[in-house]
A and B are shown apart, each in its own frame.
Chain A
Amino acid sequence: MQGYIVRRLLQGVVLLVIVTTIVFAVGRLTGNPVDLLLPEEASEEERQAMIETLGLDGPVLEQFVVFIKGAVQGDLGVSIRYRQPAVDVFFSRLPNTLLLMPAAMLLAVFMAIPLGILSALRRGRLTDRVSGTIAVLGIATPNFWLGILLIYVFSVQLGWLPSSRMGDWSHYVLPTITLGTFLVAGFMRLIRSSMLDILDSEFVKLARIKGVTEMKVVWKHCLRNALIPVLTLWGVFMGGLVTGTIVTETVFAWPGVGRLTYEAVIFRDYPLLQAVVIMDAVLILAINLVVDILYAYVDPRIRFT
C-alpha cells in the first residue's frame, strides 16, 4: 500500500512539472514576458527590476530555474489587478470554492447512485428511459447556459432563490445544480452500465441462489463493484469539475477560484492566471491522491499491480 501511494505521489509530481513547464513556455514563447507580468503603466525602473529578478536577460534555462525556484517557494508573481502576491489571492478565494465543489459532488452521489441502480434494474422500462433522457440532456446542456436558465426560472420569474453571491443555504441551491448536473449525468450512465454487467455476473447469481435478499444483493454485492468505474474515471470528472467551477462561479458571481480565473482572463492579469493554473493543478492532484487511496481501499487488486 505504501509503495502504491509513493508511486501515485511521484506521478503527481511529474504532472506538476509538466504543467509548470507548459505555463512557463506559454509565458515566454509569445512576446515579451515583462509586458505580460507588469501593468501597462509600469515605469522603466520597474521593468528593469523585473528583468533582473527573473533573469530575463539570461538564457532560457536559467530563467526556468528562477521560475521553478520561485514556484516551489510559493512565489508565482504579483497580481496586476489586486497588487498582492497571486498565490495569496488564490488562497483567499479557495475556501469559497471548497464549499461549492463538495455540494455538487454530494448532489451527484445522492442523485446518480439511486437513479443508476434503478435504471439498471428496470432496463428498458419507463424509469430507465426517463433517466436516460435526463442524462443525455444533462450532458448536452452547457452549464453556463443551464445556470442562466435556472436564474431566469427561479430568480426572475418565480423569485424563489437568489441569483448571485454567497449567503445562507438558498444561495447554494442554483450553483450546486448548475455545477453538479454533468456529474449526475456522467455518474448515472457509468453506474447503470456497470450495474448491468455486474447483475449478470456469477457471484450475484450465487448470492441469489444462496437466498440473499434482493436488497442486500443490490446494495452490497453489486453497488460496491459498480462504483469502481466511477473511481477509475474520477480524474476525468475532476478536470470537468474544475472547468465547471470557472463557468458556474462566473454566472453566479460566486467569489471563488473559478470566478478569479475568469477575472484574470477578462482583465488580462497574466501573473494571477498562471498562479491559478498551477495552484489548480496542485489542488487536482491532492484530491486525486485521496481518491486513489480510496480506490485501492475499495478494490484490493489495485494495491498489488
Chain B
Amino acid sequence: MRKLPWVSMFIIGGMVFAAIFAPYLTPYSPIDQSLPDKLLPPFWEAKGSTKYILGTDIFGRDVLTRLLYGARVSLIVTGLSLLFGGGVGLAIGIASGYIGGRLDSLLMRLVDAAFTFPAILFALLLAVTMGQGLDTLVIAIGLLLWAGFARIIRGEVLALKQRDFVALAKVHGCSELRIMVTHILPNVMNTFMVLITLNVGAVIVAEASLSFLGAGIPPPTPSWGLMVAEGRGKISSAWWLSLLPGIAITLVVLTFNLFGDWLRDRLDPKLRQL
C-alpha cells in the first residue's frame, strides 16, 4: 500500500482554504483598480515592495489577491462541471450498461463520436452563441467529461448486471429503475469517485484554456487562465503577470493528478490500465 500523499493533500487543502477564506486573507479587492500602483513587480525584485507581495497588474490590482480569488472561481467551475458532466456520464453509463440492446449501441456510438471530436470546439461555439458565463462554461466542460465517465461506468455495470444480488432483486419484483438506482448505483460509486478525482486536473486545465481563449468567465472576475491571457502581451516587461498564475495552475493540476493516482490505486486498482 502506498503511503498517504501528504504533500498533495496539503496543497489541495491550501487551495480550498484560499478559495473559501480569500476575503479574509487579503486586504485588497480582486476587481477594484488602483492605477498609481500599476505594474509593480513582486517584492524580491528591485522596484517591488512588500505591500504587494506578488506585484500588481496593468490596472494596479494585487496579483496575489487575484490568485486567491481565482482559486475560488477555479474550484467552483471545476466542482459544478464535474457534478454535471460526471453525473450525465454516470446516468448514461448505467442506463446503457443495464438496459443494453439498441439503446446501448446508440449511446456507445455517441461516446465514440465524443472521443474523436474535441469538445473544446463545441465549448467555443456555445460561448459565442450563449454568451460567456458560469452556465455556459459548466455545460461546455460537462461536454468534455461525460463520454469518459459513461464508457467506464458502463463497463462496470455490465459486470455487476451478472451478479446474484441483481437477479435476486429481479425475483423479488423490483422495477428496472429501482434496480438501477438502489442496487447498481451504490456499487459504481467507488469508480465514480475515482473518476471524479482523476479528472479534476483535466477540468482545471480546460477551464483555464477556455478562459485564456476568451470563452470562460468574463472579466473582471479573476480566473487563472484569464490572468495568463491578460499578462501575455506584457511578457517582456512584466513576467509575473503571466508566469505566476501559470505556476498556480500547473502546481494544482499536478497535485490533483498525483492525488487521483493514489486514490485510484487505493479504491479501484483495476482502473490502472486506463
Contacts and interface: CB of A to CB of B under 8 A. Distances in A.
B197 to A, nearest CB: 14
B253 interface: yes
B205 interface: yes
A139 to B, nearest CB: 7
Interface string B246-272: 100110011001100000000000000
Interface string B121-161: 11011111110000000000000000000000000000000
Interface residues of A, number: 52
Contacts of A156: 235-236, 239
Looking at chain B's contact residues, is the secondary structure mostly helix, strand, loop, or mixed? Answer: helix
Given A137-B254, A140-B250, A251-B232, A277 B115 contact: no
A262 B120 CA distance: 11
Contacts of B245: 145
Interface in A48-103: none
Contacts of B222: none
Contacts, number: 135
B20 interface: no
Contacts of B9: none
Given A140-B250, A284-B116, A261 B124 contact: yes
B213 A15 contact: no
B170 interface: no
Contact of A144 (B112, B118, B127, B209): B209
A235 B115 contact: yes
Interface in A177-210: none
Interface string B220-249: 000001001101100110010011011001
Contacts of B243: 145, 148-149, 152
A270 B242 CA distance: 29
B73 interface: no
Interface residues of B, number: 45
Given A27-B129, A148-B235, A247-B212, A18 B228 contact: no
B48 interface: no
B6 interface: no
B116 A270 contact: no
Contact of B118 (A36, A242, A250, A285): A242
Interface string A108-151: 00000000000000000000000000001101111011001101
A152 B237 CA distance: 10
B113 A15 contact: yes
B19 interface: no
B205 to A, nearest CB: 5
Those 10 A-B pairs whose CB atoms lie nearest each other, nearest first: A145-B246, A140-B254, A239-B118, A140-B253, A30-B129, A243-B120, A243-B118, A235-B116, A156-B236, A15-B113
Interface of A: 11, 14-15, 18-19, 22-23, 26-27, 30-31, 36, 136-137, 139-142, 144-145, 148-149, 151-152, 156, 235-236, 238-240, 242-243, 246-247, 250-251, 261-262, 264-266, 268, 270, 273-274, 276-277, 280-281, 284-285, 288
Given A142-B209, A261-B124, A264-B124, 6 more contacts: A14-B113, A148-B232, A235-B115, A243-B120, A264-B128, A265-B124
